[in-house]
Structure formats: structure tokens, C-alpha cells
Amino acid sequence: DQQVKQNSPSLSVQEGRISILNCDYTNSMFDYFLWYKKYPAEGPTFLISISSIKDKNEDGRFTVFLNKSAKHLSLHIVPSQPGDSAVYFCAASSSNTDKLIFGTGTRLQVFP
């Protein structure tokens, strides 16, 4: 039972355009959400997070949007750069357990 789902295994975007990565969750107890980025042969690295008390968090080119009623979050990257090509994992946790549940990942390719 996948509590955190990333339904798009891959996404291809032209350099300079916006990349939108999506994530859906089923557990209404989740109250903290994160995005991690993973390059080949490296471990995941933290990118950006959002608490359920907010609906948007921005950090430079990266913005995460949270829609609690739809149990949906998205990561926007604008403008996309070739160096953004990586696998992106969304993750969620609840303050009850603090246990991180990861999605299956989306492979983003940014082409020139």
C-alpha cells in the first residue's frame, strides 16, 4: 500500500522551461513534506520542504505547493537547467511518528 505516490516515472523538459513534478499521498495524518534529489551513484540530498500549515514554500528556483484537500503536492523548478536532471523523491511524515515515507521517484531530464 503506497501511501506516497509519484505517478510519473519520468519527465522531460526543455532548458529554461518550467518543470512540474507531482506527488499524491493518502494518509491525512501527514503534516510535513519534503523533496529529495538524487544524482546517479550518489545518495539523495534534501531539496526543499513544507509544513502542512503552509501551502507554498519557495527557495530560489524551487517552489513546493501543497494542496491538503486534494492530498497533493508539487515541485516547480523554474527555469529548468540541465544540472537539474536527476531523480526526485517526495517524502511525507506525520508528527505522530516522524517516520519518513518516500514516493517511488520521478526521473527529470532537462535537455538543451
Partner 1 sequence: EAQVTQNPRYLITVTGKKLTVTCSQNMNHEYMSWYRQDPGLGLRQIYYSMNVEVTDKGDVPEGYKVSRKEKRNFPLILESPSPNQTSLYFCASSLSMASSDTQYFGPGTRLTVL
Residues near partner 1, by CB under 8 A? 2, 4, 6, 32, 34, 36, 41-46, 49, 51, 89, 91, 93, 95, 98-100, 102-105
Q: Between 4 and 64, whose beta carbon lies closer to partner 1?
A: 4
Q: Would you say 15 or 94 has its CB closer to partner 1?
A: 94
For 56, half-sphere exposure in the C-beta direction (CA atoms, 13 angstrom radius) is 5
Under a CB-based contact definition with an 8 Å cutoff, are residues 11 and 19 in contact? Answer: yes
Q: How far is the CB of 15 from partner 1 (least distance, A)?
A: 27
- Residue 56 CB, nearest approach to partner 1 (Å): 17
Give burial (CB, 10 Å; 0-12/13-18/19+) of 40. Answer: exposed
Least distance (Å) between residue 59 CB and partner 1: 13
The distance of closest approach from Cβ of residue 102 to partner 1 in the complex, given in angstroms and rounded to an integer, is 4
Give dist(CA 92, CA 56) in Å, integer.
15
Q: Are 86 and 39 in contact (CB under 8 A)?
A: yes
At which residue does the C-alpha cell 514516493 appear? Answer: 103
Our CB check for partner 1 shows the closer of 49 and 74 to be 49
